[in-house]
Structure 1
Amino acid sequence: MTTDNQGEDALTEQPFVSHLLELRDRLLRALIAVGIIFAGLFPFSNDIYQMVAGPLMAHLPEGSSMIATEVASPFLTPFKLTLMSSIFIGMPFILYQMWAFIAPGLYKHEKRLMIPLVASSALLFYIGVMFAYFVVFPLVFAFMASTTPEGVVMATDIAKYLDFVLSLFFAFGIAFEVPIATIILVSMGMTTPESLVQKRPYIIVGAFALGMLLTPPDVISQTLLALPMWLLFEIGVFFSRIIKRDKERREQAEAAGDEDAAAGVDDTPPSGPDKSGPGAAAAVAGVDPAFDMVEDPSDPERFEPLTEEELEAELDIIEAAEEAEQEPEAADDQADHDPEVADQADHDPAIDEKLRRVQQLRDQDEPVKARGLLYEILGEAGPEQAKVARNILAQLDEDY
């Protein structure tokens, strides 16, 4: 008995340990990449700091310069900036490692949504940082220099200046992610473009309030953060409408019986080497399996949609299992003579209750909660109930 328990523990613990090992490998690769970039940039750490300090140095009074009030600041401040620059430059590779770790647990339609979102979010973050450096810094420092009281020498400490610019870089980088957040909210069905347009006045006020909290206490930087956030919100609403129209087009095509157009299926045969074998799509040209969008027909766990008749039959089995639970003696007698009822006994009543809860959430127009409950069911249910859950997920993808 002890041996059996040890074997079961090994089976249950091994997947978790393998995930931890993969996470460790991904983190090590990211750290190694940042270390290599840092090693290449460190000899130029003082030059990098001078470049970042350029917008302030250009507006300092004649004869004035930056100062270091702490003993280790002349070394630690450029060191810190070089390390942050290494992370900044290596961010695409870091995001790739994160994506490669979570991608195996995503469905194909989720991969198709996440890949452009991850790429565009990194690009928008870089654009936000560049906007802060080339647009915001010159205006803010010119304003600060012009408002310096008479008799006060403007000599900024290098450590304080670094903290100031890093906070602005982070604030503008995050603020430029507004379109991504808007598209994600609409894609998940949590809101609609029309609802966002109605809430535009509140969003504008919120943008200025957020700019006040994230930027230094001056009107210029607050305004220069709030206005791009507003414009980026409008861009996010624009692309959200395109996504919504595309979903409506798929629904209309499906209603007209054009299932291929609704699903966006490409019937063009693949050119080049045969891609039908397991893992062949990832092997061709060294493509990472995390970006593999081709389903392997030989995979025994590959999702196959049920027909309407099969789905109705599965739901009937769930209802019959519930009735059998209420009348166990009659169900046992019938199971001896009816194999179909015997199969119904394999259904977990708790999973059946969750599936009914999913239907209630769909009726209440709460797709996010329904989707979360379905993911929970997929981790607990048997093959038949999991198949029902996958089909309901597919229907949610089409509806939302």
Structure 2
Amino acid sequence: MSDTGNKLVNAIKDKGKNLEAEMSFFDHLEALRWHLIRASVAILVFTILAFSYFDTLWQGIIMAPSKNDFWTARKMCELGHWLHRDMCFNTIKVQLMNNEMAGQFILQINTSLLAGITLGIPYLLWEIWRFVKPALHEKERKAASGFVFYATFLFFLGVMFGYYVITPISVHFLMGYTVSPDILNLPDIDSYLSSVATLTLATGLVFELPILIYILANLGIMTPKFMRASRRYAIVVILIIAAVVTPTPDMLTMTVVSIPLFILYEVSIFVAVAVEKRKIKKSEELMRS
């Protein structure tokens, strides 16, 4: 009877632990849901603001890289004069088409939503940090205390690089590229918007490489030794990315695009080294204790 009673008591205790774990899991899900709801509300607010000031957003930001007086166009022309090369953008007038009855209304909604998501990224990262922070130890919190700042800084740095360098070069090259004078380049409004959004937002995500390496290094997946050994392959990949995002065959343009990516890779190696040193120091402290 005593053995049976002990088994019954242990079974009840185990069941209680399982119920407690399940409740804890659902509590975490509920907390995550509210973090995502607050981030969604922030994105919605930015989207409404972008919708309200759509004329400024469209003419002053979205269409700006296609104009010949854009900052990048002027600087490329000045650089060409200094290098005694013709690097001025061709004088083109970008005209867009709309083939759907609700096309322009949908365009305004999609553009505003993209602007809202872009501007809401810092708050989304902050909410993610608030959700993850309680599960970290004190030292881990201190080590990752700058996560929101650095992730936001790198994202917008990448967006600015994509917007001011990659986008105008790509737009002017593709709009001016013709295989026959009988064919006019009249892109659809959705095609233009998706091109600008892809080139800018994708570059913003690429610039998050040091943050990704920091996470992978902490998980033990990525090491400085591996990254140094893979540097030659990384160079090839970076050159391929530069060739894809800059369709112009000019090597100087490809170099301008690839240099920041090389720098990002080297910075990521330093990040991995710092994580490895911190791990070694932590293990030494554990050995002493």
**1:245 CA displacement:** 5.3
Residue in 2 that maps onto 1:114: 144
Pairing of 1:1-400 with structure 2 (within 5 A): 8=16, 11-50=20-59, 51-58=61-68, 65-148=95-178, 149-211=180-242, 215=245, 219=249, 225-244=257-276, 250=281
**1:104 CA displacement:** 1.5
8 Å Cα contact 1:132-1:172 kept in structure 2: yes
Could you say if the C-alpha distance between residues 212 and 171 of structure 1 is closer, same or farther in structure 2, counting changes exceeding 3 Å?
A: farther
What is the CA deviation profile of residues 64-120 of structure 1, one whole-angstrom value per residue up to 9, with x for unaligned ones? Answer: 622212222211112101111111111111111111112212222222233323431
Pair member with larger Rg: 1
8 Å Cα contact 1:67-1:156 kept in structure 2: yes
For 2:62, give the aligned amino acid.
V
| Distance in structure 2 (CA, Å) of the matches to 1:57 and 1:156 | 15
Identity of aligned pairs, percent?
26
**1:14 CA displacement:** 2.6
What is the CA deviation profile of residues 273-330 of structure 1, one whole-angstrom value per residue up to 9, with x for unaligned ones? Answer: xxxxxxxxxxxxxxxxxxxxxxxxxxxxxxxx8986xxxxxxxxxxxxxxxxxxxxxx
For 1:203, give the aligned amino acid.
A
| Distance in structure 2 (CA, Å) of the matches to 1:77 and 1:166 | 13
Gaps of 5+ in 2: 1-7, 69-88
8 Å Cα contact 2:155-2:205 kept in structure 1: yes
| Distance in structure 1 (CA, Å) of the matches to 2:211 and 2:218 | 10
**1:39 CA displacement:** 2.1
| Distance in structure 1 (CA, Å) of the matches to 2:56 and 2:184 | 25
For 2:26, give the aligned amino acid.
V
For 1:193, give the aligned amino acid.
P
TM-score between the two structures when normalised by the length of structure 2: 0.73
Gaps of 5+ in 1: 255-261, 263-304, 309-400
Could you say if the C-alpha distance between residues 14 and 40 of structure 1 is closer, same or farther in structure 2, counting changes exceeding 3 Å?
A: same
Structure with the greater relative contact order (CA < 8 A, sep ≥ 6): 1 or 2? 2
State the superposition RMSD in angstroms. 3.4
Give the secondary-structure state (helix, strand or coil) at the position aligned to 1:32: helix
